[in-house]
Structure 1
Amino acid sequence: MPGMTGAVVIGGGVIGLSIAAHLARDGVATTLLERGELGSGASRATADVLRSYFAGDPDGSRLAARSLRAYAAAGLPMRRVGYLVLFTEPEQVAAFEAELPAQRDAGVRVELVGADEARRRNPLVDEPGLLAAAWSPDAFVSDTRRIVRHFADEARRAGAVLRTHCEATSVDAAAGRVETPDGPVTAGAIVCAAGAWSPRIAAAAGVDVPLTGAAVQELLLTGPVPGLPDIPVTLHAASGLLARARDGALLIGMGHPGTDREEWLARVKSQLARTYPAADPAGLRTAVTGPRDASPDRSAFIGRRPGTPAFLYAAGFSGHGLCQAPAAGELVSALYHGRAPAVPEDRLAAARIRPDRIAVDGRMRDVHAQNERLRRAGPVVPVELPGPVRAWAVTRHDTLQAALVHPDLSKELRHWADWSAGRVPRDWPLNNIVTAQSMITKEGAEHRRLRALVGKAFGARRVDRLRPRVAHHAAALLAELAHRAPGPVDLRRHYAYPLPRNVICELVGMPETWHTDLRKLTDALIRVTDDADYAASRMGTLRALFAEVIDLRRREPGDDLTSALIAVRDEAGDRLTERELHDMVMTLFIAGHETTINLITNAIRALLAHPGELARLRAGTLPWSAAVEETLRWDSPVAYFPMRYATRDVDLDGVRIGAGDAVVACYAAAGRDERRYEDAAEFRPSDPAPDHLSFGHGEHFCLGAALARMEVEIALESLFTTFPDLAPADASGEPEPLATPLSNSTRTLPVLLGPPA
């Protein structure tokens, strides 16, 4: 039925109902529209938990602390159990301590406790790597359905009209008009509280609400746990595994299933068995599912569009709407009436995600077009990396060369202001890169100490001795390809990937039988994904795998880098800590094969696209090294490498970088700098080759550059000699790029091999 009202609220979950109740109590004629039943969306997929502490989000904690007081005043059911966050990495402890003043200022009671105290509070925890935990007493088990009914009753008592099974089919924000199957509703204000559907509605008002996409949240219930105590709500920070007691079992969640539920379920079971061995993962069953809307930084969007009719929004609560609903309703009503909200509007508004910064497309759909845009913007450009994470992008060759040796741009994480303040999402996919205790995150004497331990392994003599082994691996892989049936072959999967993997695994002492476990793990570490817990979980699994390698080489030393590093660690612990040993081995593996895979892939693609240049190489007019160097310049295997941090205010090519700001090196952009290279966008191998920065510059120049160059030269010459008729399988289409701002390449390389020579 048509009607006129003061405000129309779209969305009947706990957030929309709280907003309707607050507006109606403040004297606004309010109509709420819900497409299904009240509380049937994200509000039904909760663990019935109310808490005030949200790590990395002091503003969210402030909303939750205000909401807890409102719930208590309303007399809603709240059984105190407390909240425990398990830390297994030193960086997690450091981040907690850095953020603690802001959390306390937000009204949160939270403290750091030791591992023994954490196990006392939750006796089920048997996490072997537990270092410490955050403990907050203010967490409660409640009843979501009772809370939904409470807000609905409050709204109705204050005069609000709640319409269920009444979908908002279109929105004309300029006219304050919402179309429904029952007719239009016209209002002086439209309030969007539609969860995962909010971006579409907000777009009609010209407001960008950048949610990460609708996902299905799934909570699981274990089988009965004998003697289960009333444990705190407990979060395993590294994996995102959340658990609480319910009806003699554990109710658990860990991210969302994504497109491969079986793979997700396997990860959940693995983490459950590791952290709670008393719980039987075989008995897991679905407890509840529902949609979840998430903002990129996991903090809610609450704001308004200036003008009349008014348009307000509250979305992106990332599964925490129940904890923050009373305060969200209070804030929206304050914004409607022009009052100052409890949290400054600019810190909650959706515009905070993209304030005057160029957003880097983390899925790398067209990296070179993106880099051209960055270069046009300047040599040093403010950008927003996926996360979101703020940084300065250095885009041009000469400026980047200066930045790479600038004494006031450090690789040490302690200088990053956003990290120390808790503004970097703890589930950022590149956290494992910036927090590693290895050469890439050290400076000065510490950097030289770690680099010296492995420097000889990558020297010219050792690399030359490895040449026959690389040639052997290449010949073996090509022999396998020669026996494949005719038809398209993914050369990245069957050649570019296994060649450097086999070489680096030999170098670090990884048994061949373990190679097959590596690909999915390493691919997941740096990719952008809608499941924010995915990369963290994969990182934990990869750490465990390399811990097994180190254990094996301690028992059975060999002629490999891991055995050599173990000897240093065990003979002189002051030269290498245990954490540094583990991070060094893993960093050597990742750095030793990820960029080489991309370089082989990019070089093959470039040569297939430039048959004239390939003919010159085959004829011996140019050495194969020319193709390697030109690929490094023209299509660098590394796109944006994190991070350097300004230790004080820095002037870089006329741009002021503030102390504590992060700087990202744009190697792929610098390689096509038209101010440095003539015809920079053209692929033209030459001898001598032009210089480039793809392996870095200065003290942090890539230790494995000589090995990578040698591997790719052999890979290219062997491939094109063995398969002289090699051709693209589909010249009309572009393979999908790697979904990560770190690497620059494609996920596949489909070719037709032709007959072997």
Structure 2
Amino acid sequence: MTETPAKEPGTGSGDLASEFDLSDPKFITDPEAGKRWLGGPRPVCRGKFADGSDVWVVTGHHDVRTVLGEPTLRSRPPGDSHRQSMLSRGIPEDIVDMFDSTLLTMDGADHMRVRRLVTRALSARRMLALTPAVERVAERLLDGLADKAEPDLIADYAHPLAIIVICELLGVDEEYREQWREWSETLAQALRPNPEQFAPAVRGMARVTRELIAARRAEPRDDLISELVQVHEEDSDRLSDDELTALAMVLVQAGHETVRNLVALGVFTLLRHPDQLELLKNDPSLGSRAVAELVRHTAPVKHTFRRFATEPVDIGGVKVQPGEAIQVVLAAANRDPEVFEEPGRLDITREHNPHLGFGRGAHYCLGASLALIEGEVALTALFGRFPDLALAVDPSEIDPPYLMSMQRLPVRLSPEV
């Protein structure tokens, strides 16, 4: 990564660094973009967000930690600009308010209130108790793989595992799960939504979520929606109906997309590092450490939502002014040579691994523990069942561009005869 010409901190956009122009469609599909983000020095640089607005791009581990832990930085931009940004990207006006009432866009007291209520329901004990259920889902899906000549590990394993587990956790009825997976894929394109697809997906998911909430209010079950409804009914700091609906939608979306990417990228990366795969196959107890290293190395979540300064703040020697936006790149922070020894090397025995793959601070991913459980179960079960699994095509055919999710992962379950 090359440093842009020096500017006075906080004095406007100037010449924007093209390698950080998220508004350029070529950036999304450029396989070299990731290399520019992951390598070289890590100054705070100027760039553009997907809507064309200016951002400070932060890639160093120390600076990313500073941004994620800085209380004067907010998730929502000042004034009405966030609402206008969503409208400009094609999000219909009638659903903007609900779409804007999630933990991802809350700050301060509101964020603390909702996060505290959700944390009650998403306890570590509940997540750990899901392990046998995740194992059963994985084994059932692996049974289905055995009948396929060249299964696609995304369509046939990573995708269904992620959506089944999160839907079982929430209590989404089986009849809706395939539809929910399709909606989730559409919502994953929120940076550049297709209005013809995006609006029906959000409206459909919101409608079904409200129906699910009403059903659990009338007849509670042992699922997360029922527990959230109970929190909604009993706590003096109760969730609003919009907050409850948006929260359920975000949990499905985030839980599905992150785990899907972690499993797919994890399998692909291990197959390209046979020495590390052999270590894992010979010692499954390395599973949790291997998944943590894969989160660091593959970055299933590349970057966070933007943060906005409410007062002047120094980030990496740059004075960010009130109202200016900051984009942190988790993937680059997790390859910082000042923190990680040989950062470009996959090492599933790595002991010192302070990765930021799930963020940190107030907005640390609520579902991180579940994602790690799913990743470990998925990988150890897959290679335990099919130890000779191999890619069915050349890696160059499926190596994903940096900001795009991997779309296919064809494999052979046994060696070619």
2:46 corresponds to 1:386: no
Q: Distance in 1 between matches of 2:357 and 2:64?
A: 11
Alignment length (residue pairs) = 397
Structure 1 residue 729, shift from structure 2 partner: 1.0
Query: 1:622: Cα distance to partner?
Result: 6.1
State the match for 2:128 in structure 1: 464
The answer as to 2:211 corresponding to 1:548 is: yes
Q: Could you say if the C-alpha distance between residues 354 and 652 of structure 1 is closer, same or farther in structure 2, counting changes exceeding 3 Å?
A: closer
Deviations 1:241-275 (A, max 9, x none): xxxxxxxxxxxxxxxxxxxxxxxxxxxxxxxxxxx
Taking the aligned partners of 1:592 and 1:433, their CA distance within structure 2 comes to 22
8 A Cα contact 2:188 2:257, kept in partner: no
Contact kept, 8 Å, 1:416 with 1:661, in 2: the verdict is no
**CA–CA distance in structure 2, aligned partners of residues 367 and 533 of structure 1:** 28
CA distance in 1, matches of 2:28, 2:258: 16
Residue by residue over 1:285-330, the C-alpha shift from the partner in whole angstroms, topping out at 9 and shown as x without a partner, is xxxxxxxxxxxxxxxxxxxxxxxxxxxxxxxxxxxxxxxxxxxxxx
Q: Please state whether the residue corresponding to 1:383 is helix, strand or coil.
A: strand
* Alignment counterpart, residue 446 of structure 1, candidates 98, 110, 115: 110
Give 1:445's aligned amino acid: A
Q: Quick one: which of 82, 106, 126 aligns to 1:419?
A: 82
What is the RMSD computed on CA atoms of the aligned residues? 3.0
User: Displacement of 1:684 after TM fit?
Assistant: 1.7
Which amino acid in structure 2 is aligned with residue 505 of structure 1?
A: C
Report the Cα offset of residue 607 of structure 1: 0.5
Q: Secondary structure at the match of 2:168?
A: helix
- Structure 1 residue 414: Cα displacement: 4.9
Q: Percent identity?
A: 34
Instruction: Tell whether 2:162 aligns with 1:511.
Output: no
Q: Does the aligned pair in 2 maintain the 1:439–1:451 contact within 8 Å?
A: yes
Q: Distance in 1 between matches of 2:296 and 2:238?
A: 36
SS at match of 1:623: helix
Residues 354 and 506 of structure 1, relative CA distance in 2, 3 Å threshold: farther
- SS of 2:359 mapped into structure 1: coil
- Residues 495 and 471 of structure 1: CA distance in aligned 2, closer, same or farther (over 3 Å): same
Mark the CA change 1:673 to 1:414 in structure 2 (over 3 Å): closer, same or farther. Answer: closer
Compared CA separation, residues 658 and 461, structure 1 to 2 (3 A): same
Q: Give the SS at the match of 2:47.
A: strand
Correspondence for 2:267 among 595, 598, 604: 604
C-alpha displacement at 1:650, in angstroms?
A: 1.7
Q: CA deviation at 1:737?
A: 3.6
Unpaired runs of at least 5, structure 1: 1-351
Does 434-443 or 693-702 show the bigger shift?
Answer: 434-443
Question: What code does the residue aligned with 2:16 have?
Answer: D
Measured in 2, the distance between the counterparts of 1:390 and 1:459 equals 38
Counterpart Cα distance in 2 of 1:713 and 1:482: 21
1:391 is paired with a residue of what secondary structure? strand
Q: Secondary structure at the match of 2:64?
A: helix
Runs of 4+ with >6 A deviation: 429-434
Query: In structure 2, what is the Cα distance between the partners aligned to 1:380 and 1:531?
Result: 32
**Of 489, 511, 536, which aligns to 2:199?**
536
Whether the 8 Å CA contact 2:398–2:409 is kept in 1: the answer is yes
Q: Is the 8 A contact 1:603 1:627 kept in 2?
A: no
Cα deviation for residue 356 of structure 1 reads: 2.1
Verify: 1:356 aligned to 2:29, yes or no: no
1:636-694: CA deviation from partner (whole Å, max 9, x where unpaired): 11112212111112211111222112222211121122332222122122142511001
Give the structure with the larger strand fraction: 1
- What one-letter code is carried by the residue in structure 1 that aligns with 2:72? D
Instruction: Flag the 1:717–1:460 CA change in 2: closer, same or farther, 3 A.
Output: same
* TM-aligned CA deviation for residue 508 of structure 1: 0.9
Superposed displacement of residue 585, structure 1: 0.9
Instruction: For 2:85 and 2:255, locate their aligned partners in 1 and report how far apart those are by CA, in whole Å.
Output: 31
Q: Secondary structure at the match of 2:130?
A: helix
TM-score of the aligned structures, taking structure 1 as reference length:
0.49
Q: How far apart, CA to CA, are the structure 1 residues paired with 2:407 and 2:308?
A: 31
Does the alignment pair 1:752 with 2:416? no
**TM superposition shift of 1:570:** 3.3
Contact between 1:438 and 1:587, CA under 8 Å: does it hold in 2? yes
2:315 pairs with one of 645, 652, 670: 652
Residue 474 (str. 1) matches residue 138 (str. 2)? yes
Instruction: Look up the SS of the partner of 2:55 in the other structure.
Output: strand
Counterparts of 1:159-308 in structure 2, within 5 Å, are none
Q: Give the Cα separation in 2 of the matches to 1:617 and 1:467.
A: 19
1:409 & 1:375 partners in 2: Cα distance?
27
| Deviation at residue 532 of structure 1 after TM alignment | 4.7
**In structure 2, C-alpha distance between the alignment counterparts of 1:416 and 1:428, rounded to whole Å:** 19
Aligned positions of 1:62-77 closer than 5 A:
none
In structure 2, distance between residues paired with 1:389 and 1:582: 29
- In 1, Cα distance between equivalents of 2:79 and 2:264: 34
Task: Give the aligned residue type for 2:339.
Answer: R
Q: 1:365 aligns with which of 21, 29, 32?
A: 29
What secondary structure does 1:664 align onto? strand
Among 276, 300, 304, which residue is 1:641 paired with?
304
Q: Amino acid of the residue matched to residue 410 of structure 1?
A: R
User: What SS does structure 2 have at the residue aligned with 1:676?
Assistant: coil
Give the superposition deviation at 1:574.
Answer: 4.5
Deviations 1:362-398 (A, max 9, x none): 5633466435257657432222122323322211111
Aligned to 2:9: none
Contact 2:264 2:406 in 1 (8 A): yes
Give the Cα–Cα distance (whole angstroms) in 1 for the partners of residues 97 and 278 of structure 2.
40
Once residues 286 and 358 of structure 2 are traced to their aligned partners in structure 1, the CA distance between those partners, rounded to angstroms, is: 20
1:192 — aligned with what? Answer: none
User: Shift in Å at residue 595 of structure 1?
Assistant: 0.6
Paired amino acid for 1:446: D
- Name the residue aligned to 1:496: 158
- Please give the per-residue CA displacement for 1:102-149, whole angstroms capped at 9, x wherever unaligned: xxxxxxxxxxxxxxxxxxxxxxxxxxxxxxxxxxxxxxxxxxxxxxxx
CA–CA separation in structure 1 for the residues paired with 2:201 and 2:219: 27
Residue 727 of structure 1 pairs with residue 376 of structure 2:
no
Conservation of the 8 A alpha-carbon contact between 1:379 and 1:399: no
- Which structure: larger Rg? 1
What residue in structure 2 maps to residue 64 of structure 1? none
> How does 1:576-591 map onto structure 2 within 5 Å?
576-591=239-254
C-alpha spacing 1:367/1:706, structure 2 compared with 1 (3 Å): farther
Letter in structure 1 aligned against 2:109: A
**Aligned equivalent of 1:563, options 226, 233, 236:** 226
Structure 2 distance, partners of 1:477, 1:489, is 11
Give the one of 658, 661, 674 matched to 2:337: 674
The equivalent residue for 1:707 is: 370
**Structure 2 residue 293 is the aligned partner of structure 1 residue 630:** yes
Distance 1:354 1:655, change over 3 A: closer
Name the aligned partner's letter for residue 323 of structure 2. Answer: G
CA distance in 1, matches of 2:52, 2:98: 15
Work out whether 1:697 is the aligned partner of 2:360: yes
Q: Equivalents in 1 of 2:369, 2:97: separation in Å?
A: 22
Compute the displacement of 1:699 (Å).
Answer: 2.2
Cα drift, residue 578 of structure 1: 0.9
Shift of 1:417: 7.3
1:525 equivalenced with 2:187 (yes/no): yes
Residue 660 of structure 1 aligns to a residue whose secondary structure is coil
Separation in structure 2 between the aligned mates of residue 619 and residue 730 of structure 1, nearest angstrom: 25
Deviation at 1:483, TM superposition (A): 2.2
